[in-house]
């Protein structure tokens, strides 16, 4: 077995979530991960791939998934047995701020001579605070750290002069934080993200460890994968950390870096050798211009990709473009997040102006041209959104189901920003400007909030129109009413509807008990309530089931093809003409 030069660890949201009493609420209903957020960012795989190309052995270990997979898995004993001179830990999504630092402490406990390096969006936003933690030796800032990471690894194994490595925060011999120039922000990213899923297959072979690279619970049954089309964005959603005016503030990115059409489709073809499951294209392919979007679609058609391809639309597609997608990608899936039915709320929240009529025309065209599904996502906790506005949005969903004749391929969702509004987004950095109020501002405040006994205590924001308690209450009301509407239209089985309603009602009932125990600071009482919390947490959210595209009963991971492709065909070219 190869000895790793660096081990990249992914932590659960809270360590140890199996012992802490918590009511999760609907915090992860609209993502494929569980409330433990065991899905690691794709950057972890991309960094691993790039370091391997540079001559270093990099191993990814998903601690969060291992803890979910086996209730008897002892993370501390497991980490104690690992050996590497460097451990990397992602703090990308802020929801990992508790678990990531606790995992770092365990690493230092058993490997005091090893160094720990952090990276990710949240690491970049809170680098000044994060570097103060004694467990943290290094931080790499930015959304594209593959190149400086490789420079760091070479210097670590050489003279250990870290002063010239761009984007690096480090501690000198007196344990004083040093901050290098944040100068590496590439606009050409052709050198990265090329074949990182095959890299994961090679890791399984190299370290005899399949469990550590599984991205999320249920992935083996439903091995959906993603291809990123860009880093950065041209749009300005006020609650997104990747927005146009947000990234210059903490990622130093002033314009998006687009991937070439050939590189995107090469990734898609590679993935089709590994899995039969759907492939998500992250980012609207039209962002780079009509010529690039058409080139992507033509190459997909030329290479005869059979997987269901999932596209994102940031603005409504034209009928002509929808037809083009359908011609090149039969049975495609379409996702759009208008966030609100109210054009005024949407305009400020997204920085985009389009009408409901234009969106509905796109939905109709997609269904007409054979989309296997159209997913529309709405959000709670936006600018100028009060309780009535939220519930009116649910009524609009009812209208959409009626308008499209209860089409089972139309999926409507309502979620919220939980547990955190993304640090680094415009509403977080300039809350007063947008009518927001932050309940937690520092890294440590967020860490402590994550360990609270209910998701309502972890919310890091409220708005002028919805106080924090109102956000949680209207979220329950909205999800409940949307569930009832879906059952009324025959789009949700009655047993699933009943389960969803019971989940909501039971959660609301236990919320009252939690509030009483928190008011009395009764920790023993909260611990005694944990089995009931866990029972409610264990309900399968109806939305979670709706997110999965039916892909049949065949084995969806192409094991032998994946191994062959990873070992022998990693540089195989695609058809381009």
Which domain covers residue 137, as residue numbers? 6-179
Report, as an integer, the average pLDDT of 210-225. 73
Q: State percent of the chain over pLDDT 90.
A: 78
145-159, 214-228, 394-408: least confidently modelled range:
214-228
Q: What is the mean pLDDT of the chain?
A: 91
Asked if 175 and 284 sit in the same domain, the reply is no
Residues near 195 by beta carbon (within 8 Å), at least 6 away in sequence = 49, 267, 270, 570
For residue 263, how many other CB atoms are within 10 A of its CB? 19
Report, as an integer, the average pLDDT of 389-405. 98
Total number of domains in the chain: 2
Whether the predicted pLDDT of 475 surpasses 90:
yes
Residues near 106 by beta carbon (within 8 Å), at least 6 away in sequence = 15, 75, 76, 79, 80
162 domain-assigned? yes
For residue 77, how many other CB atoms are within 10 A of its CB? 10
pLDDT at site 556: 56
Whether the predicted pLDDT of 141 surpasses 80:
yes
User: Dihedral sign, CA of 199, 202, 204, 207?
Assistant: negative
pLDDT digits 0-9 by tens, 244-253: 999 999 999 9
Asked if 244 and 153 sit in the same domain, the reply is no
DSSP state of 315: S
pLDDT at site 559: 45
573 domain-assigned? no
In degrees, to the nearest 5, what angle opens at C-alpha 60 toward C-alphas 3 and 260? 120
Asked if 534 and 449 sit in the same domain, the reply is yes
pLDDT at site 563: 46
- Tell which wins on pLDDT, 1 or 309: 309
Asked if 266 and 334 sit in the same domain, the reply is yes
DSSP state of 23: B
pLDDT at site 198: 62
Asked if 516 and 465 sit in the same domain, the reply is yes
pLDDT at site 554: 45
As separate numbers, helices (DSSP H) first and strands (DSSP E) second, the chain gives 24, 17
95-109, 264-278, 298-312, 329-343: least confidently modelled range:
264-278
Residue 160: pLDDT band with limits 50, 70, 90: very high
pLDDT at site 567: 47
CATH of the domain at 344: 3.30.750.200
Report, as an integer, the average pLDDT of 465-487. 95
Report, as an integer, the average pLDDT of 509-529. 96
Cα separation, 464 vs 349, in Å, equals 14
Cα separation, 547 vs 412, in Å, equals 10
pLDDT at site 118: 98
pLDDT digits 0-9 by tens, 172-189: 999 999 999 999 999 988
Whether the predicted pLDDT of 541 surpasses 80:
no
Cα separation, 471 vs 160, in Å, equals 50
pLDDT at site 555: 44
Name the burial class of residue 396, with classes exposed (0-12), middle (13-18) and buried (19+) by CB atoms within 10 angstroms of its CB.
middle
CATH of the domain at 67: 3.40.50.2300
DSSP state of 164: G
pLDDT at site 31: 78
Residue 204: pLDDT band with limits 50, 70, 90: low
Asked if 248 and 110 sit in the same domain, the reply is no
pLDDT at site 358: 98
pLDDT at site 273: 83
569 domain-assigned? no
Whether the predicted pLDDT of 553 surpasses 50:
no
210 domain-assigned? no
Cα separation, 80 vs 481, in Å, equals 48
- Widest distance between CA atoms in the chain: 70
Asked if 126 and 235 sit in the same domain, the reply is no
Report, as an integer, the average pLDDT of 397-413. 97
* DSSP-assigned letters across all residues of 474-493: HHHHHHHHHHHHHHHTTSS-
pLDDT at site 197: 59
Cα separation, 5 vs 10, in Å, equals 17
The pair of structure tokens assigned to 558 is: 């192409």
């Amino acid at each position: 077995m190869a000895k790793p030069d660096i081990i990249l660890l992914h932590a659960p949201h809270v360590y140890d979530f199996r012992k802490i009493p918590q009511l999760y609420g609907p915090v992860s209903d609209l993502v494929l991960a569980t409330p433990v957020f065991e899905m690691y960012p794709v950057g972890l795989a991309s960094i691993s791939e790039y370091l391997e190309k540079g001559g270093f052995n990099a191993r990814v270990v998903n601690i969060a998934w291992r803890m979910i997979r086996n209730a008897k898995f002892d993370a501390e004993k497991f980490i104690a047995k690992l050996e590497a001179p460097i451990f990397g830990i992602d703090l990308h999504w802020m929801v990992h701020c508790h678990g990531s630092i606790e995992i770092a402490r365990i690493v230092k406990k058993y490997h005091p001579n090893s160094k720990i390096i952090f990276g990710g969006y949240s690491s970049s936003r809170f680098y000044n605070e994060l570097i103060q933690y004694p467990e943290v030796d290094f931080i790499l800032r930015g959304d594209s750290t593959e190149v400086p990471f490789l420079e760091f690894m070479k210097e670590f194994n050489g003279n250990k002069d870290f002063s010239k490595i761009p984007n690096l925060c480090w501690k000198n011999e007196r344990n004083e934080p040093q901050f290098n120039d944040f100068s590496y922000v590439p606009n050409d990213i052709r050198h990265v993200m090329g074949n990182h899923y095959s890299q994961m297959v090679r890791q399984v072979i190299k370290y005899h460890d399949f469990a550590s690279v599984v991205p999320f619970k249920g992935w083996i049954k439903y091995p959906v994968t993603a291809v990123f089309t860009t880093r950065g964005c041209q749009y300005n959603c006020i609650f997104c950390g990747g927005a146009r005016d947000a990234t210059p503030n903490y990622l130093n990115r002033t314009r998006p870096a687009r991937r070439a059409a050939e590189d995107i489709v090469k990734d898609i073809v590679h993935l089709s050798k590994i899995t039969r499951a759907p492939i998500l294209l992250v980012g609207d392919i039209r962002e780079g211009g009509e010529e690039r979007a058409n080139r992507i679609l033509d190459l997909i058609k030329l290479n005869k990709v059979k997987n269901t391809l999932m596209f994102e639309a940031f603005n409504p597609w034209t009928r002509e473009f929808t037809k083009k997608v359908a011609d090149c990608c039969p049975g495609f899936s379409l996702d759009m997040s208008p966030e609100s039915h109210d054009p005024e709320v949407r305009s400020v929240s997204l920085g985009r102006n389009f009408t409901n009529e234009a969106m509905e025309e796109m939905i109709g065209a997609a269904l007409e041209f054979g989309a296997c599904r159209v997913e529309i996502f709405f959000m709670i906790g936006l600018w100028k959104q009060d309780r009535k506005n939220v519930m009116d949005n649910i009524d609009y969903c009812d209208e959409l189901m009626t308008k499209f004749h209860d089409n089972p391929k139309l999926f409507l969702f309502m979620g919220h920003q939980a547990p955190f509004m993304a640090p680094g987004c415009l509403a977080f950095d300039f809350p007063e400007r947008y009518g927001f109020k932050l309940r937690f501002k520092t890294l440590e405040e967020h860490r402590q909030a994550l360990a609270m006994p209910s998701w309502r205590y972890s919310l890091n924001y409220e708005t002028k129109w919805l106080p924090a308690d109102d956000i949680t209450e209207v979220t329950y009301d909205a999800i409940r009413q949307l569930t009832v509407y879906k059952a009324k239209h025959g789009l949700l089985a009655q047993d699933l509807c009943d389960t969803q309603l019971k989940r909501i009602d039971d959660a609301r009932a236990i919320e009252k008990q939690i509030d009483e125990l928190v008011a009395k600071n009764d920790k023993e009482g909260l611990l005694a309530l944990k089995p009931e919390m866990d029972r409610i947490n264990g309900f399968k959210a109806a939305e979670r089931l709706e997110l999965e595209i039916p892909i049949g009963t065949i084995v969806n991971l192409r094991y032998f093809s994946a191994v062959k492709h990873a070992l022998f065909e990693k540089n195989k070219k695609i058809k381009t003409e």
